[in-house]
Amino acid sequence: MNIILFGPPGAGKGTQAKKLQNEYSIPHLSTGDIFRAAIKNKTPLGVKVKSILDSGELVPDETVVDLVADELSNEKYQDGYILDGFPRTVVQAKAFDAFLAKNNDSLDAFIFLSVPEEELVKRILSRGEGRADDTVEKVKTRLSVYRKETEPVMNHYKDQGKVQKIDGMGSIDEIFERIKAALDQ
Ligand code: AMP
């Protein structure tokens, strides 16, 4: 099962992706986590993307697409995966479509976690993960980047009839149950 977990920053994608990973025994791939680990370990990729993540802007499409294609070629993803934070632009979505087609594979579900903007800001500022981009100013940048660059990705998948909108308000478990119900349909 190949799943895209989509939504604005602070919607709870990471939290839900980890729960889905346990429930369905398929690995979770978070591009943000990969970048943060690379920054922490000061790898060439980390050095390249650090200032971009700090600013709340997006890493260039080519870098992300190559990274994801490379990561997904790992055997552990052969029975499926949950993508969190990718694709984040229409260019990335089209590249991902091409990647799937090349591998005779397809997307099974596109789950959109819908959360009002006031709630997103509150959640991010209170989650206390110590992320450099979790400040009021950076959150504003990330939300505006989301609206401009990332939201159009949803239309791309709506055209494919894949989008399932999930109410992202409520407890973690309530939201998880909604996602499972959508996936088990
Ligand atoms: P996230 O953990 O998904 O919120 O991602 C944190 C940051 O990593 C983003 O604000 C971007 O700077 C970068 N990033 C993560 N995924 C992508 C992506 N698919 N395309 C471009 N930049 C990304």
pLDDT digits (tens, 9 = 90+) for 67-85: 999 999 999 999 999 999 9
Chain centroid to CA 146: how far? 11
User: If you average pLDDT over every residue of the chain, what do you get?
Assistant: 96
Using a cut of 0.75, tell me whether the model's pTM lies above it: yes
Comparison of pLDDT for 185 and 42, the residue scoring more: 42
Q: Does residue 10 have its Cβ closer than 6 Å to ligand 1?
A: no
**pLDDT tens, residue by residue, 5-61:** 999 999 999 999 999 999 999 999 999 999 999 999 999 999 999 999 999 999 999
- Positions annotated as catalytic residues are 13, 88, 127, 131, 142
Instruction: Using the predicted structure, report yes or no on whether residue 87 has a pLDDT greater than 90.
Output: yes
Instruction: Using the predicted structure, report yes or no on whether residue 182 has a pLDDT greater than 90.
Output: yes
Q: Does residue 9 have its Cβ closer than 6 Å to ligand 1?
A: yes
Q: E-strand spans in the chain? A: 2-6, 28-30, 81-84, 109-114, 163-167
Q: Does residue 150 have its Cβ closer than 6 Å to ligand 1?
A: no
Ligand 1 atom, smallest distance to 142 CA: 10
Question: Residue whose CA is closest, atom 10 of ligand 1?
Answer: 56
pLDDT at 54: 95
Averaged pLDDT, 106-114: 97
Measured in angstroms, how far is the CA atom of residue 6 from the centroid of ligand 1?
Answer: 12
Which whole-number Å values give the CA distances from 82 to 28, 63, 66, 98, 111, in the listed order? Answer: 5, 20, 17, 18, 10
Question: Residue whose CA is closest, atom 19 of ligand 1?
Answer: 86
- Considering the chain, what percentage of its residues have pLDDT values greater than 90? 96
Q: Does residue 7 have its Cβ closer than 6 Å to ligand 1?
A: no
